[in-house]
Structure 1
Amino acid sequence: MPRPIRAFIDLFALRHNFSVARRHAGSARLWAVVKANAYGHGLERTVRALHDLADGFALIELERAIALREAGLTKPLLMLEGCYAASDVPLFIRHRLIPVIHRREQLDWLLASRWPAELPVYLKLNTGMNRLGFDTAALLNAKSALAGRHIDCVLMTHFADADGPRGIDWQLERFRVMTSGMSEPTSLGNSATILRYPESVGDWARPGIMLYGGSPFPQAKSAAELELRPVMTLQSEIVAVQGLAAGESIGYGCTFVADRPMRVGIVACGYADGYPRHAVTGTSILVAGQRTRTLGRVSMDKLCVDLTDLPPEVGAGVPVTLWGEGLPADEVATAAGTISYELFCALAPRVPVMEIG
């Protein structure tokens, strides 16, 4: 028998979450963001599930974009970091990939090629994230160069705190100043912007984490409150049960010590499967559909759960949900001091994946 851990990907939930993005974004067109193997959910299955809904797909990895084209995908593909070398440009042209240009060298590579005038480019503006993007002077030069070749562009920026207290107004004002007098289409909104500032998403919005059932602001509003459904559910089983006397410890480092007699279940899941090693004692987990807690350190292939207050028949072979249906990934991530994005992306290749829908 194979090891009992598996991940379930609910494509019905994925399509539902896209419909939530569509409703909030109004008339804006939507790039479904599928970088990092669709946040760990599987690029090909995600594109297949959203093919008739999304206006296009946004990713970073050139080889994955080419694979989608070779598989027959004709929808627009947006490359969020553009070209990494001049040798990429012919591949962008051949496969009709739309680059996000964020520095002058990328623009020079494009202008030195036979870039087709009908294939647009995105110009990324640095309005305060301070990672990538043009300042005002460089933007004006880039627009002028593209206009000289009759190449259309979309003006894009990325918000640093759309999910936080500072919000987006300060960056929106910078964007308006930088683009004063310009009439090109815009792309502004990620998931947090779509849900919190739907009037400011621009002409092309870019939903990411919300598609996969994660909340962009889990401390303020849960995914369920945002009408989002979990797409990935990670499940396993209890493979053994141990009894602890008061004063005994369990796991590496002896970080958990029982203060009373306890029953402990050993679950076939560890950090080599993608469960966060830094999840602390007390992280929520579902055993036979009942909420309990983890105990001690997560090891490579196993973790421990508290069965003390569960019925005595709960033992080896009983199903366990690590996150997903019934237990939000955001909750597990928060307990581990991280975000659901990391949990999803860290799903290990050794975990079998099953599709629903």
Structure 2
Amino acid sequence: MSRPIQALINLSALQHNLIQTKAMVGAARVWAVIKANGYGHGLLRVAKALNQADGFAVASVEEAILLRQAGFLHPILLLEGLFDEAELQVVLQHRLDLVVHSHHQVDWLLAHSVKEPLHLWLKLDTGMHRLGFNEEGLHQALFRLKHHAPHFKCHLMSHLACAEDDHPLNQQQYQRLLAANQTYQFKLSLANSAAIQLAPTMHLNWVRPGIMLYGAGIAPQHITHFKPVMSLVSRVIAIKWLAAGEGVGYGQTWFATRPTCLAVVAVGYGDGYPRHAENGTPVIINNLRVPLVGRVSMDMITVDITDHANQIKLNDPVELWGEQLSVDEVAQHANTIGYELLCGITQRVKIKELTQNEV
């Protein structure tokens, strides 16, 4: 029998989440963000399940090429645009849409006699201060593009820095984007997953859902409408009793205060489970919620099952996150975010797509 750690992928949940997202945004069109190997779920399987999205958003030409080679004809947006002037030929060949965030990218575009229609999403830095033009730079870039390449189809986008919070910067960024667009009346895109859920006025023409499609990063008022797509599961591989006062694991960071029954589970940071998950991080064993104790090892964790010792046995199923335990809750106990856990599943974890009978 092989090592029991698996990532179960429920593609029907992914399709359900897209339907819920579309219901939220009304007439706005949807860029389904599937970068980073579909947030760890598998680029092509995710794209197939999200076939009803209006377009796909990715981080690299390589991801876009894989989608085209698999037969996807959707608009595909490169969220960071060109990394190198030589990529432009590939962009044209595969009919990709480009984010343009810097003057050097404008230089690359104008250095070539591009005759084909090309959709450009110019990025305005409204307050994130990562990528994007300031307002003066945006107008300069647009003047150059319209003068030298009037056949380019231009749009305007920005990215919210604090969308998860009721932060005054959100409205400032929104108003800066609208103000910059007064002259042009371009199609606009601003809303990420958090803004889709919390700020309906910011949906504009195109939204960019990412983490919400995978059933994570869901606001409390919407939690019942979305389903987790990935369940990380394993099994109990050993059970043992400790005397009061005995320590567990590397560094002996946890000591038993009573006679304690431990379950050892086949999962560790070598699989993508967070090494910094703290004592008390919840784990589901045989449908019971029990606490992690001791440090996470490369291949194993230890869990205190004393209160359920008569209900848990060798080889019982374990859920590290999924339908019964949110990846976001686990992430909080590890001082990180659900994005990192989903994207961090390693190659040695077997991926299994659930059939309709298994869902």
TM-score range, shorter chain: over 0.9
Deviation at 1:222, TM superposition (A): 7.0
Which runs of structure 2 are paired with 1:99-118 in the superposition (5 Å)?
99-118=98-117
Which runs of structure 2 are paired with 1:291-306 in the superposition (5 Å)?
291-306=289-304
What is the alpha-carbon distance in structure 1 between the residues aligned to residue 17 and residue 127 of structure 2?
29
Closer, same or farther: CA 251–92 of 1 in aligned 2, 3 Å: same
Which runs of structure 2 are paired with 1:19-98 in the superposition (5 Å)?
19-51=19-51, 53-98=52-97
- The answer to whether the aligner puts 1:312 opposite 2:310 as a matched pair is yes
Aligned to 1:14: 14
Aligned to 1:254: 252
Deviation at 1:179, TM superposition (A): 2.3
What is the alpha-carbon distance in structure 2 between the residues aligned to residue 165 and residue 223 of structure 1?
16
Deviation at 1:356, TM superposition (A): 1.8
Deviation at 1:230, TM superposition (A): 0.5
Closer, same or farther: CA 132–216 of 1 in aligned 2, 3 Å: farther
Query: Deviation string for 1:144-194 (max 9, x for gaps)?
Result: 222221211110000001111315111112222222322110111101111
4+ aligned runs moved over 4 Å, structure 1 = none
What is the alpha-carbon distance in structure 1 between the residues aligned to residue 80 and residue 243 of structure 2?
55
Q: TM-score, normalised by structure 2?
A: 0.95
What is the alpha-carbon distance in structure 2 between the residues aligned to residue 352 and residue 34 of structure 1?
20
Say if 2:35 and 2:63, in contact at 8 Å, map to a contact too.
no
Aligned to 2:163: 162
Closer, same or farther: CA 77–116 of 1 in aligned 2, 3 Å: farther
Aligned to 1:175: 177
Say if 1:146 and 1:152, in contact at 8 Å, map to a contact too.
no
Say if 1:120 and 1:153, in contact at 8 Å, map to a contact too.
yes
1:47 partner letter = A
Aligned to 1:144: 143
Which of 281, 284, 291 is equivalent to 2:282? 284
Q: TM-score, normalised by structure 1?
A: 0.96
Aligned to 1:356: 354
Q: Secondary structure at the match of 1:123?
A: strand
Q: How many residues align?
A: 352
- The answer to whether the aligner puts 1:201 opposite 2:203 as a matched pair is yes
Say if 2:228 and 2:322, in contact at 8 Å, map to a contact too.
yes
Aligned to 1:339: 337
What is the alpha-carbon distance in structure 2 between the residues aligned to residue 235 and residue 310 of structure 1?
19
Say if 2:264 and 2:302, in contact at 8 Å, map to a contact too.
yes
Q: Secondary structure at the match of 1:273?
A: coil
What is the alpha-carbon distance in structure 2 between the residues aligned to residue 173 and residue 314 of structure 1?
56
Deviation at 1:315, TM superposition (A): 2.0
What is the alpha-carbon distance in structure 2 between the residues aligned to residue 178 and residue 68 of structure 1?
33
Aligned to 1:4: 4
Q: Taking every aligned residue pair, what percent have the same amino acid on both sides?
A: 45
Query: Deviation string for 1:121-153 (max 9, x for gaps)?
Result: 110000000001011111112212222212111
What is the alpha-carbon distance in structure 1 between the residues aligned to residue 264 and residue 135 of structure 2?
58
Say if 1:215 and 1:223, in contact at 8 Å, map to a contact too.
no
What is the alpha-carbon distance in structure 2 between the residues aligned to residue 290 and residue 47 of structure 1?
34
What is the alpha-carbon distance in structure 2 between the residues aligned to residue 249 and residue 320 of structure 1?
23
Which of 179, 186, 190 is equivalent to 1:184? 186
1:96 partner letter = R
Q: Secondary structure at the match of 2:183?
A: coil
Say if 1:99 and 1:121, in contact at 8 Å, map to a contact too.
yes
What is the alpha-carbon distance in structure 2 between the residues aligned to residue 37 and residue 190 of structure 1?
18
Aligned to 1:239: 237
Closer, same or farther: CA 313–192 of 1 in aligned 2, 3 Å: closer
1:73 partner letter = F
Say if 1:213 and 1:223, in contact at 8 Å, map to a contact too.
no
Deviation at 1:113, TM superposition (A): 1.6
2:247 partner letter = S
What is the alpha-carbon distance in structure 1 between the residues aligned to residue 114 and residue 85 of structure 2?
12
Say if 2:7 and 2:231, in contact at 8 Å, map to a contact too.
yes
Aligned to 2:154: 153
2:157 partner letter = M
Q: Secondary structure at the match of 2:257?
A: coil
Query: Deviation string for 1:4-48 (max 9, x for gaps)?
Result: 110101001101111111011110000000010111011000001
Q: Secondary structure at the match of 2:57?
A: strand
- The answer to whether the aligner puts 1:269 opposite 2:267 as a matched pair is yes
What is the alpha-carbon distance in structure 1 between the residues aligned to residue 292 and residue 12 of structure 2?
30
- Structure 1 residues not aligned, in runs of 5+: none
Alpha-carbon RMSD: 1.3
Query: Deviation string for 1:236-258 (max 9, x for gaps)?
Result: 00100121100001100000100
Say if 1:22 and 1:30, in contact at 8 Å, map to a contact too.
yes
